[in-house]
Amino acid sequence: DLDTITIPIVVHVIYSKTEENICNQQILSQVEVLNQDFSKTNKDIDQIPQEFKNSASDINIRFSLDSIIRVSSTRTEWGTGDSMKFSSNGGSDGIDPTKHLNIWVCNIGNGILGYAQFPGDAIATDGIVISPQFFGTEGFISPPFDKGRTATHEVGHWLNLRHIWGDGNCAVDDFVEDTPSSDGPNFGCPDYPTIRCESNNMTMNYMDYVDDNCMYMFTNGQKNRMRATFANGGPRESFL
């Protein structure tokens, strides 16, 4: 299926400090990064090493900003237990998650940049959560996670991608054949080549843990896995 898929985004901004009430421009800067990264038009693709150039993929997914919801709260940290996804907790209810990607922007705390729900789980909590300072490329942002790649990574999970090391040793798979086997996350900005599991590691993949400006590709195999969620009977079929 080569058709472009367009995903409407609802952003829930839940804030206790003024700076966490991020401006519309910061939100738009994030949507732009998603559109670049999922269409292989990101400015840093020329950094992909020769051996991985043919694996780099245009996912052919677009994102459109549907609406922004702002909620003021006295809660300063939300953790990863999904309480921000319910107005009954002082958060904000997801808007028709079978047709919108809901993104909650709130202070998760504990140094956590973001987290995602995999497809096929509870509808009410479907979506991704990102701390405001790691969302978008301008405004209230914090390097080295200030290039909008946390959302790219989390949308990868939301579309069924695992971390490239499969969250295990060299024998544990990420169910993608063109991401080389790995046995753990890479951090910072690794040198190329970085050898793990006896091959050159794809440290620049969005599904690793490197800094934002050191991740710049999805693979063809990841594209197939993500787009399979939209197929007949797939968990994201309702978006088509």
Q: Which residues are catalytic?
A: 154
Residue 90 or 185: the one with the smaller Cβ distance to ligand ARG is 185
Q: Which does 85 bind (CB under 5 to 8 A by kind): ligand ARG, Ca ion, none?
A: none
Q: How far apart are CA 213 and CA 198, in angstroms?
A: 25
| SS3 state at 214 | helix
Choice from 106, 176, 207, 214 touching Ca ion (CB under 5 A)? 176
Q: Give yes or no for residue 150 binding ligand ARG (CB under 6 A).
A: yes
Q: Which does 176 bind (CB under 5 to 8 A by kind): ligand ARG, Ca ion, none?
A: Ca ion
Q: Which does 5 bind (CB under 5 to 8 A by kind): ligand ARG, Ca ion, none?
A: none
Q: DSSP string spanning 130-172? A: E-GGGSSSSSS--TTS-SSHHHHHHHHHHTTPPPTTTTSSTT-
N-term to C-term CA, the chain: 12
Instruction: Kindly report the length of the chain.
Output: 240
Where do the H-state alpha helices sit in the chain? 24-37, 50-53, 149-158, 220-228
Residue 100 or 223: the one with the smaller Cβ distance to Ca ion is 223
Q: Which does 103 bind (CB under 5 to 8 A by kind): ligand ARG, Ca ion, none?
A: none
Nearest residue to 105 (alpha-carbon basis) of 206, 16, 7, 209: 16
Q: Give, as ranges, the residues between 69 and 128 that touch Ca ion (CB under 5 A).
A: none
Choice from 82, 174, 208, 212 touching Ca ion (CB under 5 A)? 174
Q: Give yes or no for residue 57 binding Ca ion (CB under 5 A).
A: no
Residue 134 or 230: the one with the smaller Cβ distance to ligand ARG is 134
Binding window for ligand ARG (CB under 6 A); candidates: 23-31, 33-41, 53-61, 107-115? 107-115
CB of 211 to ligand ARG, least distance (A): 6
Q: Give yes or no for residue 44 binding ligand ARG (CB under 6 A).
A: no
Q: Which does 149 bind (CB under 5 to 8 A by kind): ligand ARG, Ca ion, none?
A: ligand ARG
Sign of the alpha-carbon dihedral angle for 154, 158, 161, 167: positive
| 221 Cα distance to chain centroid | 17
| Structure-block tokens of residue 234 | 């797939």
Q: How far apart are CA 226 and CA 222, in angstroms?
A: 6
Q: Give yes or no for residue 208 binding Ca ion (CB under 5 A).
A: no
Residues that bind ligand ARG (CB under 6 A): 113-115, 145, 149-150, 153-154, 209-212, 215
